[in-house]
Amino acid sequence: MDEPTIAQLAHLNYQEFCRLLTRWSGSAGRLDEHDGLMCWATATDFAVKLNGASRTDPGLAADEALRRVGAWFGELGRAPGSGGIGRGFTLDVRTGYDDDLDAAAEAARLIPVLESPQMVCAAPLADPRARSDIDVAWVDDVAGVREFVAINDDAYQSLGMPAGVISDSVRAPDRMLEPHLMLVVARVGGRPAAAALAFLSHGVGGVHYVGVRDFARGQGLGELVTRLVTNRAFERGAAFVGLQASSMGESIYRRMGYREIYRYRSYVDFAT
């Protein structure tokens, strides 16, 4: 598979994850996708990564894309009970692919808050070493989904997510049990400690929501659950597996065998 195809499939897979977030919010999720632009919203109004927009057609003019995104989230924020102001959102641009949108976001004074490498893994990884004090379980019921969500809600606070927003975004936990999704939880001494998921779309896998609680950090649990879901995606037929790395995980993923193919720059309008 050539590099442009890998890059396009990785991007399509990431956009599909954004759609998944709206489905997990049940009736509170919103998705609007037409004429080269996708806007999506979860059940929470937290702007960073839980409400967002992405250009689906690079031919859509950057200024027009920004106008439409602002209008869509403005209307969403004026829904009954919203207080009458627009909802905040994240605009994701790909460095090297969306240079015009990047420049337009800067000109509009959106706030750059994240720059995440899109990384891919071409082949299954070595199996993680077993530890007698760690119990690993694949999630197969709603109770397991709730445990998975609670781990990530706790873990992602270290990256700036307020407590409760991830939990609030998941209003339809049964939708996380669909067969193209693979969720794993690791427990240490019986305590839920780490989690990760992978899903399949466009013939490739995507890894998301890799989270480790504070008490369990420094023990290799993030790498453990990432290896597990990466390999499970390959077992299910993924041509490759991708992820967007946080600053905490980037060096770990490189060491494991993931490589960077481009970066996402995330601009935020906090609608304050």
Residue 272 pLDDT grade (very low, low, confident, very high; cuts 50, 70, 90): low
- For the stretch 63-99, pLDDT in tens is 999 999 999 999 987 655 555 557 999 999 999 999 9
Query: Are 238 and 200 a contacting pair, CB within 8 Å?
Result: yes
Angle at 245 between CA 239 and CA 249, to 5 degrees: 115
Q: Say yes or no to pLDDT of 131 above 70.
A: yes
Average pLDDT over the chain reads 94
Instruction: Give pLDDT, residue 83.
Output: 53
Q: Which domains does the chain have, with CATH numbers?
A: 3-116+264-269 (no CATH), 121-262 (3.40.630.30)
Q: What does the buried/exposed string (b/e) look like for 237-269 if buried means 16 or more CB atoms within 10 Å of the residue's CB?
A: ebbbbbbbbbeebbebbeebbbeebbbbbbbbb
Angle at 200 between CA 194 and CA 204, to 5 degrees: 110
Instruction: Give pLDDT, residue 77.
Output: 72
Contacts of 130 (CB under 8 A, 6+ apart): none
Instruction: Give pLDDT, residue 78.
Output: 62
- Measured CA to CA, the distance from residue 13 to residue 260 in angstroms comes to 15
Instruction: Give pLDDT, residue 132.
Output: 84
pTM of the model: 0.94
Q: Say yes or no to pLDDT of 130 above 90.
A: no
Q: Which two tokens stand for residue 117?
A: 């490498």
